[in-house]
Amino acid sequence: MAQDFYSFSGKANNGDEVLFGAYKDKVLLIVNTASNCGFTYQYEGMEKLYQEYKDKGFEVLAFPCNQFGAQEPGSDEDIASFCDMNYKTSFPLFQKIQVNGDNTLPLYKHLKEQAPGLLGSQAIKWNFTKFLVNKEGVVVKRFAPQDKPEALKADIEGLLGL
């Protein structure tokens, strides 16, 4: 039987353990991010979505990853500073993780199994791959890196019942 989404945890950027049970009854956008990527500008759109919907039960969870073109080489402290200085992000930022390979964060194994990519591929292909999770913890959709955050509004509003 597949593991329940809310049984997973991750480490916040500051090192605190975050239990995903804290996100019950919320719509989640989970994104693997990088500071030196052609899609890094999407932090701005992610923050706009967060500001628009956070009071309606929406969260953005950012997981920095250095597995694609070494585009996230900094420390967790560097990443937090970059996001704050350049994009004034206020959504939860986690410690740097791996999304593919032997050291894949268990949450990401779950996301990839629940919402495979093109032709059923489970591998994450690049930074800013996005997963949308409904209020019941079901992974409902996977979006490609080039899908801009603002293009997800209709899906987010549908899951929020707006």
Specify the CATH superfamily of domain 33-160. Glutaredoxin (3.40.30.10)
Give residue-wise pLDDT tens across range 83-139: 999 999 999 999 999 999 999 999 999 999 998 887 777 899 999 999 999 999 999
Rounded to two decimals, the pTM is 0.95
Instruction: Look up 37 and say whether it is catalytic.
Output: yes
Count Cα atoms within 13 angstroms, Cβ side, for 49.
Answer: 26
Would you kindly state where each structural domain of the chain is located, as residue ranges? 33-160
Q: List the catalytic residue out of 27, 29, 34, 37.
A: 37
Residue among 82, 51, 71 nearest 149 (CA): 51
Residues 159, 27: contact at Cβ < 8 Å?
yes
**What mean pLDDT, rounded, does the chain reach?**
94
